[in-house]
Amino acid sequence: MAGRQLIVLVSSLLLASLAFFPSTTAIEYQKKIEVVVEGMVYCQSCDHYGTWSMTGAKPIPSAKVSVICKNHNKQVSFYKAFQTNADGYFYAPLDGFKMNHIMDHPLQACHVKPVSSPLQDCRFLSNINHGLDGAPLRYEDKRVMGNNYEAVVYSAGPLAFRPANCAPKTHF
């Protein structure tokens, strides 16, 4: 008799646990999809001042860039500043970015601009990759996947600052 009561008790506990803790197959997860922009920020060499050449350029750690997106009415719909890591690389999740119209797609709506450089000897903006007006985004078919997470990654740049005092080039 005690064995039968034990079986009934265990069965009851198992049924109760299923009522309070549904199996993972019963829970529906919504996959979160993010838009991300990545790129690099450099200090352009004086040897290539006035060109778009990145030869001899050095990455700038702790540089700031901004991602600006405008909606189909040309109004700013997203703005956020991001900082580069120790290698001059930025990874910018566009948390809160919304598309309300086909023209609000990140490729048409968003640009990246260099904001500031922590380097005293390399603080002037350059126009490499249209950095002054905002570098356009490029789609390179890159995605970052995780459990219930997916990021569509766009690229921008490279972007650059330049030294203030580059010696004029002499042509003989």
pLDDT one-digit tens code per residue, 79-113: 999 999 999 999 999 988 887 777 768 888 899 99
Alpha-helical (H) ranges within 28-109 are: 106-109
- In 94-134, the DSSP E strands lie at 110-116, 124-125
Sign of torsion over alpha carbons 110, 116, 121, 125 = positive
- Among residues 40, 158, 156, 154, the alpha carbon closest in space to that of 105 is found at 154
Tell me the CATH architecture of domain 32-162. Sandwich (2.60)
Report helix, strand or coil for 14: helix
Per residue in 13-65, pLDDT (tens digit) is: 444 444 444 444 444 455 566 889 999 999 999 988 888 999 999 999 999 99
SS3 state at 66: strand
What pTM did the predictor assign?
0.76
Sequence-ordered list of residues with C-beta below 8 angstroms from that of 44, at least 6 positions apart, any chain: 53, 54, 57, 122, 126, 128, 160, 161, 162, 163
Identify any residues that bridge with 92 across adjacent strands, giving them in sequence order: 37
Total length of the chain: 172
